[in-house]
A and B are shown apart, each in its own frame.
Chain A
Amino acid sequence: MLTLAALTRDELQRRFAGPGLVLRTGPFRSRIRTDIPHLIDAIALLYADYPVEDDGFADFHLTLRSARGLRRWLRPQVRFNQDGAEPFKPLPLDQAHPMFEWVMNWCVTNKAHSYLIVHAAVLERGGCAVIMPAPPGSGKSTLCAALASRGWRLLSDELALVRPHDLALVPLPRPVSLKNASIDIIRAYAPQAVFGPPVLGTVKGTIAHMRASGASVAAAGQLVQATHIVFPRYEAGAPARLEPVPKARLFMRVADNAFNYPVLGSAGFDTLGRLVERCAGFEFSYGALDDAMAVFDALPGAAP
């Protein structure tokens, strides 16, 4: 299998400029075109272990180009174009990589309706698979990055893909997006982790992406069954504490975080119902990552 790291810089550039580079992430193939050198660098760094496909079919089509004309010199911008349509406004050129990650998520959440898609991090260890839905700002990505750097397999930082017929979690391991203070916290916590360059001044402040481990990427084809649904919340100085969530409330809270729940209709209701039925649900508050690691490693089946 051809991986991105196996392509020379010239070959990479040739594909990005010409027919598009078809990158496989989890179950999806994305055809990517771009003329932005620092975006190519970021993709080459963060997606080095991912398969590149040649069979000529892609699910998603992304073109990110720097805006032409005076823009090029005055306030350079990146534009996302999907087959002639531009669904989003341009962003400053140095935000090309965050835009790329965001658009990749957008393609999945807007199109891939063969899954129930929950806005959640997903991690697995020894068959214990945890879905962590959480609104932005709850510390989900920080916890996700910490777990992924301590022996947990990363299935996704953003999108839990639940297959309706058998409730299998389909992995979509991609770089973990860290914001502001979290970046330095995880750099210190996981010195071996590889980061893309920090991007300042996005709508979410400073963003940096942590590369998914090679093992997580290599295991992207291994589906698992969810066992836990955990809602994390960082509270400065708080002890790590798991509190059970009753099933009915669990259902409503996961539904609130499911992007395509209304699109799936009764299939979504049914899938979510069975998922909640088979998972233990918890609220999890923590003040220190080490305490959090201990709690997660003590979940049934997850012992290191």
Chain B
Amino acid sequence: MNRLPLLVKVLRAPLEAASLSLPEWELLLRQAANADLTATLRNSLDEAGLLGAVPSAPREVLEWAQVVAVRHRRAARFEVDCIGRALDTIHVPLILLKGAAYAMAGLPPAAGRMFSDVDILVPKERIGEVEAALMLHGWAGTHQDAYDQRYYREWMHELPPMEHIRRGNAVDVHHAILPETAAMRPDPVLLRAAARPIPGNDRLWTLAPHDMVLHSAVHLFSEGELHHGLRDLFDLHRLLLHFDAMPDFWAGLPARAVQLQLARPLFYTLRYCARLLGTPVPPEVMALAAAAGRPPAPLLVLMDHLFLRALLPPHPSCADRFTPAALGALYLRSNWLRMPPLMLARHLFHKAFLSPRVKDEPAQAL
């Protein structure tokens, strides 16, 4: 695996950083900056006891990112607290997903990780109450266009993103982890039933370990915008390493994936985590995941070509001439997975020709 980008090599084996020249440090930090992984890289080096050996110039850049990460963590806690207070009024348990869950539960992917919005999971039948409670506490819906409203409310698995009117931070209210219109339909009742409270906190919940991995997997492998592909794969890598210590974690993972109709994304997760990051997946688990979720051979060849490009750092030094095509193909695939073909055609037609043109505002980071 000598052709792996420098950042990937160092993430899988931080000791690689011990012998880098200054030009290599520059390249490493440039790849990390584009992948939004600078603070994560710093924490990996710190955990490996290598931070002190980093030459002063690159170490300074790592510390800059750490300042932002610390501030981000503080802001995230504050934001989650505000959401919790809003939902307390209607007695809905606050189940956190992804970045916010890692941060509040203190899980390994949280170290240095940035996220731009807080994702929460609530029962579908109470989504109206949740929306009202959040609005009373200062969050307002975005995407007010009638078509977008219908798109989210009828077909998607979430409300249109809500933004706080003063702080600008976003909360995504989900009632499921995949769109209503997708072929895969993990039952949100199963997810909620298995959710567990964060130790030492009486208000916040996360998904169960298996479900946390599977949600992160389905998000990464059905999402078309892979700008954070490597970061999300590294999240999965660190979750798997962390849960590795739990007695029945590996044994139960493929079965839970089948139960939630997520065997395919689990297969991709284990395959690409192992290939790119060297995650030690037990062979029997890999075999079970492959039996349940491996795509037909020609499709797998294609997917390897697409994902082994799209999951690299989004930096010119990691791209080849097929990278733009791979990203484009995965974008189309993600839409394909969201909706049946006719519906997708209608949706894309509407977006292309009928939706009012609005300038995309960059998402406000926490």
With A59-B57, A59-B61 already in contact, the answer to whether A264 and B67 are too (CB < 8 A) is: yes
Q: How far is the CA of A228 from the CA of B228 in the complex (A)?
A: 45
A-contacting 9-mer, from B20-28, B44-52, B147-155, B249-257 = B20-28
List CB contacts (< 8 Å) of B61-106 with chain A: 61, 63-64, 67-68, 70-71, 74
With A83-B33, A83-B315, A263-B71 already in contact, the answer to whether A56 and B23 are too (CB < 8 A) is: yes
With A61-B30, A84-B316 already in contact, the answer to whether A113 and B68 are too (CB < 8 A) is: yes
Contacts of A112 in B (CB 8 A): 64
* Cβ-defined contact, A29 with B64, below 8 A: no
Q: How far is the CA of A264 from the CA of B63 in the complex (A)?
A: 12
Contacts of B282 in A (CB 8 A): none
Q: Is B224 an interface residue (CB 8 A)?
A: no
With A29-B57, A57-B57, A84-B314 already in contact, the answer to whether A265 and B74 are too (CB < 8 A) is: yes
* Cβ-defined contact, A83 with B316, below 8 A: yes
* Least distance between B328 CB and chain A CB atoms (Å): 16
* Cβ-defined contact, A84 with B22, below 8 A: no
Number of B interface residues in the complex (CB < 8 A)? 23
With A56-B22, A83-B34 already in contact, the answer to whether A114 and B74 are too (CB < 8 A) is: no
* Cβ-defined contact, A84 with B315, below 8 A: yes
* Cβ-defined contact, B60 with A84, below 8 A: no
* Least distance between B333 CB and chain A CB atoms (Å): 23
Q: How far is the CA of A31 from the CA of B57 in the complex (A)?
A: 14
Contacts of B22 in A (CB 8 A): 55-57
* Least distance between B316 CB and chain A CB atoms (Å): 5
Interface string of A13-57 (1 = CB under 8 A from B): 000000000000000010100000000000000000000000111
Q: How far is the CA of A267 from the CA of B67 in the complex (A)?
A: 10
List CB contacts (< 8 Å) of A96-118 with chain B: 111-114
Contacts of B315 in A (CB 8 A): 83-84
List 16 interface pairs A-B (beta carbons < 8 Å), by A numbering. Answer: A31-B26, A57-B25, A57-B26, A57-B55, A58-B26, A59-B60, A59-B61, A83-B30, A83-B34, A84-B34, A85-B34, A112-B64, A114-B60, A114-B63, A262-B71, A267-B67
Residue numbers of B with Cβ under 8 A of A are 21-23, 25-26, 30, 33-34, 55, 57-58, 60-61, 63-64, 67-68, 70-71, 74, 314-316
